Chains A and B, each alone.
Chain A
Amino acid sequence: MTRLLRLSILPWVAACLLAFAATAVTAEEHKKSHAAVAEAPKDLVQVPKPPFSEGIFPCSQCHDPKAMAPNTTRRVLKDMHTDISLHHGPDSRWCLDCHDAYNRDNLHLAGGKLVSFNTSYQLCGQCHGDKLRDWRVGIHGKRTGSWNGAKQYLLCVHCHNPHSPHFKSLKPMPPPARPEAIQIKNGGAK
């Protein structure tokens, strides 16, 4: 099961990381997965939808190439998307390093290959290869479902906001009661 998953998302990794090339991947599998923008293995593991802000996807609703010509000049956005502040190495990158200027509903890898938002882990894995390696076998990140059967996994972006990836702090749930706070009433502790 885990092995199948590994094989199915492995082709592109093999292209990027030589370390994994040892696990045999046929050229046909490689081609197939890229042609389909690396579809997730639906019958094995179900992927919840990427956590888009409401009403924002598909991006091409606004970013229609006919109506709005792409401006590929690196700049700070002043009119739209001002709610996004980039805390993900902002000195060295900007929007179009990950988002594709000509296919707005997709992302692209460093080499220009398009990837779907549903398989954005491919993009994250370009830099965070060690995390991707652990994620593929279910060690980094969360798996739910069955320990010996079908599992659900989350995308990187379900836990890490891609624009500000540090895991957000949470309010802790209540601590245990201190022994002195427990009192005996009517033969039972209250």
Chain B
Amino acid sequence: MMDQDACQPTPGAPCPSGENNGRREFLGAAVAAVATALTGCGKLSKEEFLQHNFRELSKEEVLTVIERLEKEYKEKYGKDVKVANTPALPGVMFGYALDLSRCIGCRRCVHACVKENNQSRDPEIQWIRVLEMEKEEGVNLQVAEQYYNPAEVPREGHFYMPVQCQQCKKPPCVKVCPVGATWKEKDGIVVVDYNWCIGCRYCMAACPYGARHFNWGEPNLPSKDVNTDTHYLGNRPRAKGVVEKCTFCVQRTRKGLYTACVEVCPTGSRKFGNLLDKESEIRYVLENKRVFKFKEELNTQPNFFYFYGV
């Protein structure tokens, strides 16, 4: 309709055939050029710019996208990065429990996560933030310290509370995203389509856990540090200007493995499993231990729980 109007300044005048197509192509190219200039990413290819939201892609389109990404990563890092597209396993809802009576705040998890998930190294983006709190105060964010760095942990009279994405059942970050670039998968993992994210950071403002992180600059990921086992919705290398977050190591957990933070924790404080499996470790925790949800009053309904294992 609009095309018709624009093409016919005087009603009744004939619209020369061919002009329409030519102009569309011109407009398409112009828009792509302008957008490329606006985003400040000269490297943005036409395919990348015209790529749709991941959830709208057909199976063939997904494969094309993955092929393109793998080629780009090969050029950039000189390594064969495998980008998986493993869907959620049926009958699985991931849950996580962290034992506050055992965590000693050694930050092994923080750094194992960075290594596994291809975060920017300098400045380092960390998906897990460990809070040092006073036993006298209990879980009180007003006396929490995240920059603690004593010679040895745990410090007398303190306990430690690692905070990462809580994979909420009602995720406020998903609710506020204006473009639908982040959503909750069937296995409960909240993921981001880094190619669809516009970098508005509404989700970061909405998240009450500080779990989302923004690539203010081009991520500084040296080739030697690239983890080549990646997932489209997980740890594949990101670009400048997108938001990222913990995905319960989707590239590992959808293959049946534990997350990197579970694997590295020296105290065994971290428990992970399928909430729908009655025999799972996570169900045992929920049924037998004193469990709480962080900021429960906000009704975000996390699938991440804290418990006291003693």
Closest to B112 in A: A173
Please give, as numbers and ranges, the residues of chain A lying within 8 Å of B253 by CB-CB distance.
147
Interface residues in B79-134 by Cβ distance below 8 A to A read 99, 104-108, 110-111, 122-124, 126, 129
CA distance A148 to B240 in the complex (A): 36
Complex partner residue of A173 from B110, B151, B154, B218, CB under 8 angstroms: B110
Shortest Cβ distance from residue A159 to the other chain B in the assembled complex, whole angstroms: 7
Interface residues in A41-66 by Cβ distance below 8 A to B read none
We find that the number of chain B residues with CB closer than 8 angstroms to chain A is 51
Q: Is the Cβ of A169 less than 8 Å from the Cβ of B146?
A: no
Interface stretch of the complex, out of B9-17, B24-32, B44-52, B277-285: B277-285
B149 interface residue per 8 A CB criterion: yes
Given contacts A1-B279, A173-B106, A176-B126, A189 and B216 within 8 Å (CB-CB):
yes
Q: Is the Cβ of A159 less than 8 Å from the Cβ of B107?
A: no
Closest to B289 in A: A139
Interface residues in A121-154 by Cβ distance below 8 A to B read 134, 137-149, 154
Complex partner residue of B147 from A134, A137, A175, A182, CB under 8 angstroms: A175
Shortest Cβ distance from residue B107 to the other chain A in the assembled complex, whole angstroms: 4
Please give, as numbers and ranges, the residues of chain B lying within 8 Å of A173 by CB-CB distance.
106-108, 110-111
Shortest Cβ distance from residue B243 to the other chain A in the assembled complex, whole angstroms: 15
Q: Is the Cβ of B257 less than 8 Å from the Cβ of A146?
A: yes
Given contacts A139-B309, A175-B147, A145 and B280 within 8 Å (CB-CB):
no
Q: Is the Cβ of B152 less than 8 Å from the Cβ of A170?
A: yes
B209 interface residue per 8 A CB criterion: no
Complex partner residue of A147 from B124, B129, B266, B273, CB under 8 angstroms: B273
B217 interface residue per 8 A CB criterion: yes
Interface residues in B243-296 by Cβ distance below 8 A to A read 253, 256-258, 262-263, 265-268, 271-274, 277, 279-281, 284-285, 288-289
Q: B125-159 toward A: CB 8 Å interface, digit per residue (1/0)? A: 01001000000000000000011111111100000
Shortest Cβ distance from residue A163 to the other chain B in the assembled complex, whole angstroms: 19
CA distance A18 to B274 in the complex (A): 30
Complex partner residue of B256 from A144, A146, A167, CB under 8 angstroms: A146
Q: Is the Cβ of A2 less than 8 Å from the Cβ of B106?
A: no
Q: A7-20 toward B: CB 8 Å interface, digit per residue (1/0)? A: 00000000000000
Please give, as numbers and ranges, the residues of chain A lying within 8 Å of B154 by CB-CB distance.
169
Q: Is the Cβ of A138 less than 8 Å from the Cβ of B107?
A: no
CA distance A138 to B266 in the complex (A): 14
CA distance A107 to B149 in the complex (A): 41
Q: List 5 A-B contacts (CB under 8 A).
A: A138-B284, A143-B268, A144-B262, A172-B106, A189-B216
**Which chain A residues have a beta carbon within 8 Å of chain B's beta carbons?**
1-3, 134, 137-149, 154, 159, 167, 169-178, 181-182, 184, 187-190
**Which chain B residues have a beta carbon within 8 Å of chain A's beta carbons?**
40, 99, 104-108, 110-111, 122-124, 126, 129, 146-154, 216-218, 220, 240, 253, 256-258, 262-263, 265-268, 271-274, 277, 279-281, 284-285, 288-289, 309
